[in-house]
Amino acid sequence: MDTALNERLKKARKYLNLSQEFVAQKIGINRTAITAIELGQRNVSAEELKKFSELYGISSDELVYGNDVNSEAKIFARLYSELSDNDKLEIKNLMEFKKNLRKSNGV
């Protein structure tokens, strides 16, 4: 297994504050397999890579080649897309409020 891939998978999981148990359940493998993957002791199948990509909201290319694994904008976009319309409106209003607050404080 490519050492960099296992490190990127672990980094992405930790960045999202997901447990190995949660990831294993979503991917459809056991937690010890996640540990082995993150330690570079087990290869990742193409199907597993696809599932990691979907779960983490990161393209397979980014996981394999290491481009922008922790892009805050991508993480935000993935989480935002899962919100209800009311929650999205609340987030937009909060962002507008914070922007106006910064302007009024001269920041």
Residues 47 and 80 in one domain: no
Residues 10 and 53 in one domain: yes
Structural domains in the chain (count): 2
Boundaries of domain holding 15: 1-70
What's residue 70's pLDDT? 54
Taking a C-beta distance cutoff of 8 angstroms, is the pair 22, 56 a contact?
Answer: no
- Cα–Cα distance for residue pair 95/97, rounded to 1 Å: 5
Alpha-carbon span 105 to 69, nearest angstrom:
33
pLDDT of residue 1: 45
Q: Mean pLDDT of residues grouped by 10 in the chain (107 residues)?
A: 79 93 96 96 95 90 74 75 91 93 85
Say yes or no: 77 and 38 in one domain: no
Tell me, yes or no, whether 21 and 64 share the same domain: yes
Residue 40, domain CATH = 1.10.260.40
Together in a domain, 56 and 16: yes
